[in-house]
């Protein structure tokens, strides 16, 4: 019987390999791609904005109002530039008092992850011939305001520039998220525009076993609605919509209008988009994302997974998302996984950081702690993380949990020996790794592409 040929994403290129047909546990798992919406991207976005759900047209809401447009940072794959231009065109046509574009960088360095957004705003100023402020969020240095505490105890400190705006417009792209359940509009407030301390308090809930892909209070299935991280962010955005900034710089109760544009795209093509009430969008989005990107599988002894292209494939920090989204439920306990990602990093990073994390601080907290805790019993390591929790340690925790059950090999461009201290093994030759396991005849293979976008669940 002939071998089956697979071609998985590898950075901006691909890696090709073969597996004997009788050793394959099922077809390639990759995002389903329904027929894309017709028209150019600007035309599609314009149509969505012309027919909002649960809200009047955005241009009818902004007259003489202070408008804040929130977009995601450059760590997020998608059509952020096109979303921004569409929202600016719609807002500008409604004669606002002022416009401020806020880049929801969360804990990422705005000098890196909001750089392109700043250029987009400059170009829009010239195109629209109007003043547009730009606020790249800095979780430590931006002016922040206190707006209360969630039921789970998260102290909410958010960007004051957002609170200055009485019309708040969110431009977002959705997909599955490895602990938040789904990347949704709520995340543009927390972590997107929140303080580092607020993000850490919220993200500590990622240590809870109920946090994970496919779980959200926005889900229509009651059995999948429990997720402490997502519940906390949902409440945080709801609280934020009750407050505006007073002339003294304090948050006070005020009248706020919210509007969202959410969509699902891939490869520059849009498959779903809606505009209007952010809550209605999030409820509708869940079903669309599940239809395109959820898969039930029978667990295999061997799993080969690519996270997809950049930014997911640039550093282990991002590639890790695919461990929870795709790998965890596809592999048998005691199984072996091969992760295919170049981990080539950004060229501006130091060599000891590049390929491991998006910055030195993330590397120190995520990777260095992984190396330090790998030799300890899992329960002891997890207690230490919980007792001394900081940003990025949720990733360390999740890697430790999966490495306790399976062995992970990685094919990348990193030099041999770099990944071993974290509990991984380097694979120089993908086909040789496969052939060796084929010859063992002790299990089948599951192959997954774009693992950072999927939600794989076990049917076992």
CATH 1.20.120.530 assigned to domain 41-290? The reply is: no
The H or E element that residue 251 is part of is strand 251-253
The pLDDT of 64-91, averaged and rounded, is 93
* pLDDT tens-place string over residues 2-47: 679 999 999 999 999 999 999 999 999 999 988 999 999 999 999 9
With the CA atoms of 293, 299, 302 and 308 taken in that order, what torsion angle do they form, in degrees rounded to the nearest 10? 10
In the chain, the percentage of residues whose pLDDT exceeds 90 is: 94
Q: What is the pLDDT of residues 275-295, one digit of tens each?
A: 999 999 999 999 999 999 999
Lowest mean pLDDT among 48-52, 73-77, 101-105: 73-77
Other Cβ atoms closer than 10 A to 281: 27
Q: Is the pLDDT of residue 225 over 70?
A: yes
pLDDT at residue 74 tops 70: yes
Query: If 0-12 CB within 10 Å is exposed, 13-18 middle and 19+ buried, where does residue 235 land?
Result: buried
Q: Which pLDDT value is given to residue 311?
A: 87
Confidence at residue 375, expressed as pLDDT on a 0 to 100 scale: 93
The pLDDT assigned to 158 comes to 98
Query: What does the pLDDT read at residue 287?
Result: 96
- Model confidence at 76, pLDDT cuts 50, 70, 90, reads confident
pLDDT of residue 1: 55
3-25+298-458: CATH superfamily: LarA, C-terminal domain (3.90.226.30)
Segment 245-264 shows an average pLDDT of 95
Helices (H), 164-315: 196-203, 228-240, 278-293
Tokens 């076992």: give the residue.
460
- Which of 3-7, 192-196, 319-323 bottoms out in mean pLDDT, i.e. has the lowest? 3-7
Q: Where in the chain is the domain with CATH 3.40.50.11440?
A: 41-290
Average pLDDT over residues 322-333: 97
pLDDT greater than 60 at residue 378: yes
Rounded distance between C-alpha atoms, residue 352 and residue 343, angstroms: 12
β-bridge pairing 300-305 and 294-297: unpaired
What's the gap between Cα 3 and its chain centre?
A: 35
Domain with CATH 3.90.226.30 in the chain: 3-25+298-458
Segment 125-180, tens digit of pLDDT: 999 999 999 999 999 999 999 999 999 999 999 999 999 999 999 999 999 999 99
pLDDT above 70 coverage of the chain, percent: 100
């Amino acid at each position: 019987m002939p071998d089956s040929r697979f071609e998985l994403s590898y950075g901006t290129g691909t890696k090709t390999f073969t597996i004997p047909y009788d050793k394959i546990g099922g077809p390639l798992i990759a995002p389903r791609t329904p027929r894309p919406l017709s028209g150019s991207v600007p035309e599609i976005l314009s149509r969505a904005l012309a027919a909002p759900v649960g809200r009047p047209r955005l241009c009818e809401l902004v007259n003489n109002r202070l408008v804040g447009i929130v977009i995601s940072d450059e760590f997020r794959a998608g059509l952020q530039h096109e979303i921004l231009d569409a929202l600016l065109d719609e807002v500008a046509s409604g004669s606002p008092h002022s416009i401020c574009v806020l880049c929801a960088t969360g804990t990422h360095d705005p000098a890196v992850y909001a750089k392109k957004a700043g250029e987009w705003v400059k170009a829009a100023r010239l195109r629209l011939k109007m003043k547009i402020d730009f606020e790249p969020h800095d979780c430590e240095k931006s002016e922040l305001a206190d707006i209360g505490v969630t039921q789970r105890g998260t102290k909410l400190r958010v960007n004051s520039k957002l609170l200055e705006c009485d019309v708040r417009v969110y431009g977002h792209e959705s997909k599955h998220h490895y602990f938040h359940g789904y990347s949704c509009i709520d995340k543009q407030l927390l972590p997107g525009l929140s303080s580092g301390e607020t993000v850490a308090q919220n993200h500590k809930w990622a240590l809870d076993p109920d946090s994970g892909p496919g779980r959200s209070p926005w889900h229509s299935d009651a059995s999948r609605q429990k997720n402490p991280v997502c519940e906390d962010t949902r409440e945080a955005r709801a609280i934020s919509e009750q407050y505006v900034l007073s002339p003294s710089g304090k948050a006070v109760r005020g009248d706020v209008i919210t509007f969202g544009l959410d969509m699902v795209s891939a490869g520059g093509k849009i498959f779903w988009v809606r505009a209007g009430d952010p809550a209605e969008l999030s409820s509708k989005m869940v079903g669309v994302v599940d239809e395109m990107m959820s898969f039930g599988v029978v667990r295999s002894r061997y799993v080969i997974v690519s996270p997809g292209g950049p930014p997911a494939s640039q550093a282990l920090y991002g590639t890790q998302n695919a461990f929870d989204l795709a790998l965890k439920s596809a592999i048998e306990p005691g199984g072996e996984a091969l992760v295919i990602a170049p981990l080539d990093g950004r060229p501006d990073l130091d060599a000891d950081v590049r390929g491991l994390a998006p910055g030195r601080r993330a590397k120190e907290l995520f990777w260095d702690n992984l190396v330090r805790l790998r030799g300890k019993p899992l329960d002891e390591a997890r207690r230490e993380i919980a007792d001394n929790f900081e940003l990025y340690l949720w990733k360390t925790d999740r890697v430790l949990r999966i490495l306790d059950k399976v062995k992970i090999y990685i094919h990348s461009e990193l030099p041999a020996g770099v990944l071993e201290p974290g509990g991984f093994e380097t694979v120089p030759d993908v086909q040789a790794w496969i052939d060796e396991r084929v010859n063992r005849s002790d299990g089948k293979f599951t192959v997954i592409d774009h693992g950072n976008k999927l939600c794989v669940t076990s049917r076992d």
